[in-house]
Chains A and B, each alone.
Chain A
Amino acid sequence: MAHDPKNSFQGLILTLHEYWADYGCVILQPYDMEVGAGTFHPATTLRALGPKPWNAAYVQPSRRPTDGRYGENPNRLQHYYQYQVLLKPSPPDLQELYLGSLRAIGIDPDLHDIRFVEDDWESPTLGAWGLGWEVWCDGMEVSQFTYFQQICGQECSPVSGELTYGLERLAMYVQGVDDVYDLNFNGGSDNNKVTYGEVFQQTEREYSRWNFDIADTDTLLKHFEDAEEECKRILDADAIDPKKDREIIMAHPAYDQCIKASHVFNLLDARGVISVTERQNYIGRVRDLSKACGEAFLKTEAGGALAEA
């Protein structure tokens, strides 16, 4: 069966989709921008704000330029997949729901040691924090489980539960593979089998080189400034669109620029051109953008402004 998570990376994804779709989540597609984690997807960051209920699940390709190892390390990647679930408000049986999803992909808690180990989550660039756990399966961290308390500098009301699965790790576990590049991607056998390495090993090499040595830092610095500038400009625009003669607050386009600034910062970090003191400064600048975006979102319909009015 091509969908069996035991021998198919995509099968793992499809199984999770099915599980969370059954629960009632909107199954979204990855956000079409470079991000460091699934949390950055506006379906999490922005939708975790405001009073409206929201249940969503999606895969998000995530980029961590500093983790690049030229395709040579069996565990580390600069580009990998996260499976992200956001449930707002957090349901009372969230832990059981999560364990149900592990059972669905073939991890039996009577055979494997599943543990919830303290983890205080914090994202200084997003002005966000929450409490929860790393979930361990036989000593390996396979997920992060967080009750969001604050996002974009705004108190979460109500609180969302966020589940983030490290898909490659889970797949390696479920498939019993020691090297990420040996993962069976499509569930095929013999000639029909496509491995993770065939899909991603070359790109890992290419991006590692670019991230570490080639990316032009001056260009990146300029990109950062531009994105910051544009984000502020968008938010400074009049809330009323004169053409449509109605209020159109552009929280999402502004937030795109915030994501961009954040990712450019990660690239600059990987190039090693940001000193310790500058680092705080950059993080603070991105946080300021994300806060402004969060505030803007709360004034929109999806942010609950009209619902209250």
Chain B
Amino acid sequence: MPDLLLELRSEEIPARMQRKAAGDLKKLVTDALVEAGLTYEGAKEYWTPRRLTLDLRGLTARSADVKEERKGPRVDAPEKAIEGFLRGAGLSSVEEAETRTDPKKGEFLVAVINKPGRAAEEIIADAMPAIIQNFPWPKSMRWGEKSREAGSMKWVRPLQSIICTFGPETEEPVVVPFEVGGLKAGNVTYGHRFHAPDAITVRRFDDYVSALEKAKVVLDAERRKDIIKNDAKNLAFAKGLELVEDEALLEEVGNLVEWPVAIMGEFDEAFLDIPPEVIRLTIKENQKCFVLRKGALGDGSLSNNFLLVANIEATDGGKEIAHGNAKVVNARLGDAKFFWETDLHAIKTDGFAPWLEKLNQVTFHAKLGTQGERVQRIMALAEELAPVVGADPGQEALSGEAAKGIKERAKRAAEICKADLNSAMVYEFPELQGLMGKRYAERAGEDASVALTAEEHWKPQGPSDDVPTDPVAVAVALADKLDTLVGFWAIDEKPTGSKDPYALRRAALAVTRLLQENSIQINLQNWILRAIIRHLKSQQRSAHPLWPVYVCLRLNNHQMEYLSVMVDEVVSDHDFKFNLDAEAIVVGLDGNSNPATAIAASSNYQTEEILDRFPAPNSIVSDLLSFFHDRLKVYLRDQGARHDLIDAVLSQSSEGSPLSPLVGEMSAQQTEGGTSPALDQKNASAASPPLSSATTSPPQGGRMGASNDDLLMITRRVEALGSFLSTDDGKNLLAGTKRAANILAAEEKKKTEVADAISADLFETDEERALFDSLEEAENFATQAIEKEDFAKAMEFLSQLRAPVDAFFENVMVNAEDTKVRANRLALMKRIRDATGTVADFSKIEG
């Protein structure tokens, strides 16, 4: 069976693109050949900075003949139809088509098209130009004389030559002739740019690879990496040092060379005073070199040696190369040392104050104000979060002295957490933000957890990053991320599709992980609202003077009661330049009258004007909450939870929650009830019904309304549900519930009457009675258990339903002849569904 050798030789391909490009080449070529009817035994791709290579073995020499039949119209079909058919099938006259008979269709035409197989060379020559022309590079370019022509060839960098040879092992391979972008496929390549500049003629993969090796090109990237790793380790070992391994750096460096040569370099020992992270970063990011640490005999600290990987075997053994690299490393570390010392001096003489002051001049986002304003918001939120975060799992928030201490630390930590953005070091090395903040905070004598927070509040940066555990760090990390999410939601810069320029998915996942992995219970909606109010507060200077009115108008009574302290603060902060009765707001906060209407009545502004000006916080709350749910699903799925259980729990709990229905849903309810008090400003008076009375509806009968914004409890419930469903009771109850729900759904569809309430008088059997009693009891106990957040217990109570449900279905016909009895029984079905609904929406569960 013949083999195919393909090489695309190019000017230097960016290191980060090579691996994927070689993989793409393999896929595109093999797909195209298989599509054309060829098969192959194996394919392997290779790459260096200057070439992509494909070694394709055991290709069939030609594709098989294919006979295709195409059915056409009836023989007596209109001429046009027949003509069209013939044209489509490539036949020139009716005589070339066969006539067949079918009992249904009668006599009709069939075109029999014989496609003879094609030689593999032909198929390859046909397929290659398009594959090369349309190669999926992330960014490609035109070049040279040809670039004058419209639609000229594009490639990642100028493509220089193409090898394409084909043939069985026993024969001399042939060059598959094709041309693309002015390049003709051939059998010539070139070796190492400096060591072996002469042309090399190749036949097939085996001699190609060994010719390259002789020409100082190691084709296999994995081998280049192994060479680098081994040589580096040996060089390090000889000096009593250890290589600090770095897989990503190794991959990159391995793709910057065709002939790797590890060389030891040395920088000025005086630079070891600089924090080791800075040295590592400088040497790694800027110079693409490996750092070394003092080995078994030393203390494990960083060495002033480093390892570079050259692309040549230099005539002087690499002395000049080592010397040159050391000079650059010294110059860069000299800069870093200068920044480090400048910063330390600044901290020592003035503390953090000047850096904090400067945050007020730096824009965070054009629509979200300065970094300084951002820090103020984070401080306020972190201070409020700290006593909650600091409490033991399942316990009330801290209070008294304990709360005071942690609040102060959280506030201070939040205050300085972004200060290092103004340090010289972070200006130069943005990657060091946080870490430098911690270093400087330590030097400034800040509390240990405050200093730690400067670094850890950025975490977790992704699904595998460590999650902070220090309560101060956790509080600030949560505050920071909530503030960011709310901010970008408020200005409608949400992630869409693959676009997430502000890494908001990562922020939401971070919140999820912070809460889960520290077992923190919070109602996210409340905290989102708080963050919204903080945003409004920090925008008050630039925003409309009516913003506090707006805050009150947009919140319902329940929310305002909950947040009364904050709203109070917001209101008293404002200087009330307009004619507004501040008293009215405070009165409103008591819940006795409606603050919004009171405000509207005493101001000269149109309420619509205010409402139109700002996004509704409640649409932010609900939208952001469902964003959190999506992140939670991803997170739980990664942890191995069943997605249907997550859906079942989320769909149940979205039924009711302490703060909902939200104001966003308010208008619909208001229009039902006639004139909206909020929008009818002229008629507004203190006697109007409270704005939000319609919205704070009590939990629906039978529904628990467990909150859907406490991510930790959602997880607990998913877990409890999972273990319940793995028991026999659980499985049977699920089956029973589904059966009940199906019967109910079928009857509801038929518009059969279902009784509003269950009437014991209409029971005809013991099973009905028993089921009813069990339902009453189970639902009651389950509800209580859920209130105590004991989901396992709630499941246990529900499991007691299994026997009566089973007995009911075994012995009772739901569809009784007496319509009243039937309606009553259907109401029982409904009750089963509702009872299980206290823990989860069973209809979402599979199986």
Contacts and interface: CB of A to CB of B under 8 A. Distances in A.
A156 to B, nearest CB: 7
B329 interface: yes
**B interface: dominant SS:** loop
Given A115-B256, A138-B325, A277 B331 contact: no
B368 to A, nearest CB: 12
Nearest to B265: A139
B158 interface: yes
Contacts of B146: 158
Given A112-B321, A140-B324, A131 B311 contact: no
B395 interface: no
Contacts of B312: 109-110, 113
A156 B147 contact: yes
A110 B148 CA distance: 36
B578 interface: no
Interface stretch (A57-65, A116-124, A210-218, A247-255): A116-124
6 contacts: A109-B194, A110-B312, A117-B15, A139-B325, A149-B142, A156-B147
B321 A113 contact: yes
| Pairs A-B, 7 closest by C-beta atoms | A138-B324, A118-B14, A139-B325, A116-B12, A159-B147, A113-B310, A158-B148
Interface of A: 51, 74-75, 89-92, 95, 108-118, 120, 130-133, 137-140, 147, 149, 156-159, 161, 173, 178, 275-277
Interface string B359-383: 0011100100000000000000000
B544 interface: no
Nearest to A178: B327
Given A110-B312, A133-B12, 14 more contacts: A89-B145, A89-B148, A90-B144, A92-B158, A110-B194, A117-B256, A118-B14, A139-B328, A147-B142, A149-B142, A158-B144, A161-B143, A178-B327, A275-B361
Contacts of A276: 362-363
B320 A139 contact: no
A113 B142 CA distance: 28
Nearest to B160: A92
Contacts of B311: 113-115
A147 B141 contact: yes
B320 A112 contact: yes
Contacts of A277: 363, 366
Contact of A139 (B12, B142, B308, B361): B308
A281 to B, nearest CB: 11
A114 B140 CA distance: 24
Nearest to B146: A158
A114 B194 CA distance: 9
Contacts of B147: 89-90, 156-159
A147 B143 contact: yes
B156 to A, nearest CB: 8
B92 interface: no
Contacts of A120: 139
Interface string B631-658: 0000000000000000000000000000
B285 interface: no
A138 B328 contact: yes
Contact of A92 (B144, B315, B323, B362): B144
B316 interface: yes
Interface in B190-248: 193-195
B11 interface: yes
Contacts of A131: 139-141, 156-157
Contacts of A117: 12, 15, 256
Given A118-B16, A158-B148, A137 B141 contact: no
A128 B141 CA distance: 13
Contacts of B308: 139
B15 to A, nearest CB: 7
A110 B315 contact: yes
A114 B258 CA distance: 12
Contacts of B11: 95, 116
Contacts of A178: 327
B8 interface: no
Interface in B296-330: 308, 310-312, 314-316, 320-321, 323-325, 327-329
Contacts of A158: 144-148
Contact of A140 (B143, B256, B328): B328
Interface centre among B193, B316, B362, B366 (most CB of A within 10 A): B193
B287 interface: yes
Nearest to B49: A116
Contact of A147 (B158, B256, B366): B158
